[in-house]
Every structure is written in structure tokens, then in C-alpha cells.
Structure 1
């Protein structure tokens, strides 16, 4: 057995070993230990994002809209005529995922495609009136979630946090 294989086997055995009797190790709840103020900023951002996304998914479920679909409709509402590639960049989704979302939203009558006036091979997407109505229903629910997120913040703190979050994205975009 090579050293690497022996080390891998030992590590696998340690991972799969039952916890010793009396072991009180537990996973900390959000806000505790490294999942709280002592945690790494990147981890805390990811943890917060996961909590917001799960809550959003649950909030929008009975409307038949997923969080990524909401993001796509929001960007198309803000920037009508985007290409699928532009939507992917703005929503942090893969082009393949956006392709599926766009097909489903088009099938459901929420968006419509038109060819670009100059570059005919580029397809531009816009919300239909049905899509705008659906987005408005979603937005009302998401606004309630956003109010919940900001409920303990005064306007100055909220502005500071928004500026900080946008600055992180701007600063790290080239990395």
C-alpha cells in the first residue's frame, strides 16, 4: 500500500468512525460560534444568502415561481431587451440555466422574444403583461422579506450596508 493510499484509508476510517461515547459535539446554529460574529465574512455572506434564498423560495412557491425565475424577471423588467447571455451575467446563473428558465417563462407567457434590430441572431427578451403581473405579485412578497431583513436597521445603517455590499461586488468583479 502506498503512503497516499494508507493516509487516505486512515482519513476515511476517521470520518466514518462512530462518535465516542459521551461526545457532545453538535453543529452550531446560525449566529453561534463560527456561524456568528466570529465567522469569516465570506461564510457569513454565504449563510445569509442561503437563508434569504430558502425563505424566498418558500414565499414564492405557491405562485409557481422559483428564486432564479424571479431574478430573471426582475432583470428583464429593469432592463428590457436583454439577451440570454446578459441575463445570465446579471443573475449569476449559468447560460444553460437561464436558457431553461427563459424557455419555461416563455412557455408560460411571462416573457416574449424578439430579434435584435441590428444583430438578428441575438434574441432579446422582455416581460409580457402577464409576466409583469406575475412579477408584481412576487415583488410584493419579496418586499415583505426585504422589510424583515432591514427591520433592525435605521436608514443610515441600511445605506451603509447597501453601499458595502455593492462595493464588494464592484471591487471583486475582476478577480
Structure 2
């Protein structure tokens, strides 16, 4: 048998939660960005696993593709990983036939990384899957144009890098 107090508790709890949410400060933007970062990384890792790729490998393939080729040091810098990690990523990608190495065209001691045909094929498949993931993430966002969102996020990155 329920008591009067037990019947009142859910309504009282709802009122108390509502009162707290009405007076609570808005969620910090940095907290929301952190949550989004964790969710995106997890979902990207799941998506890329279907292609037997890790997130650092996908990032490296994308960066090499965008530049047309680069050194291991530049790859590390642009992929936001250490040179040692970049070296391990490149070794695996080279073993899989996704990247090749050649001497740098203007500096004989530097090694230049480039995508192979197989690397470009793998990247195209991954790009299509990541495009679908991004479309899912952005679904229902109609308040601001996508190019505006992109500019705002790029500005946030620039502001904190300075």
C-alpha cells in the first residue's frame, strides 16, 4: 500500500528538478565541445573499424591526400600526433600498401610520403562512411548554415592556438 508521502514524492521531485534547471547556469560551451569530441571520436573509430582503419590512420591518409605528399615530421604536425606515433602509423599503412615512400624531390635526405592507388581507394570508402556519420550528426540543424558553423569552429580553434 502506498502512502500519501510516496505519491507526492515524484511530483515534488519533478518540481525541484524544474526549479533547479530554471536557475542553473547554461552548460559551458567547452563542456559541450568536450562531449562532442568524445562521441565523435568513438563513432569515427566504430565507422573506420569496418575498413580495418584506426582514427590516426584515417587522419594520416586524409592529410597526405590533401597535401599530395609530405614528410613524416609534417604528417605528425598536421595529424596532431607525435613523430614517433606518426612513424608507427606510417609503418602499418605502408605494410598495408596504402602509402609509399620516396626521396623528397628537393631535399635528398628527406623521405616523402605519398598515397598509393590502394590508399586512395580505402580513403574514398572511408570518406563516404564519414560523410554519412557527419550527416547524421548534423541532422536537424537548420538554425545556422553549415559553412557558418564550420567558420565558427575554425575561429575557436584559431583563437586558442594563438
What TM-score results when the alignment is normalised by the length of structure 2? Answer: 0.79
Correspondence for 2:107: 119
SS in structure 1 at match of 2:102:
strand
Which residue is 1:90 aligned to? 78
Unaligned runs of 5+ in 1: 1-32
Distance 1:120 1:69, change over 3 A: same
Find the counterpart in structure 2 of residue 22 from structure 1: none
Match of 1:160 in 2: 148
What TM-score comes out, normalization by structure 1 length? 0.74
Partner of 2:57: 69
In structure 1, C-alpha distance between the alignment counterparts of 2:124 and 2:114, rounded to whole Å: 15
Name the Cα RMSD after superposition. Answer: 1.8
| Higher Rg of the two aligned structures | 2
Greater helix share, 1 or 2?
2
- Quote the offset at 1:169 in angstroms: 1.6
CA distance in 2, matches of 1:107, 1:121: 22
Residue 63 of structure 1: SS of its match in structure 2? coil
How far off is 1:50 after superposition? 1.0
Name the structure 1 match of 2:17.
Answer: none
| 8 Å contact kept, 2:69–2:115 | no
Q: 1:136 is matched with which residue?
A: 124
Corresponding pairs, count: 139
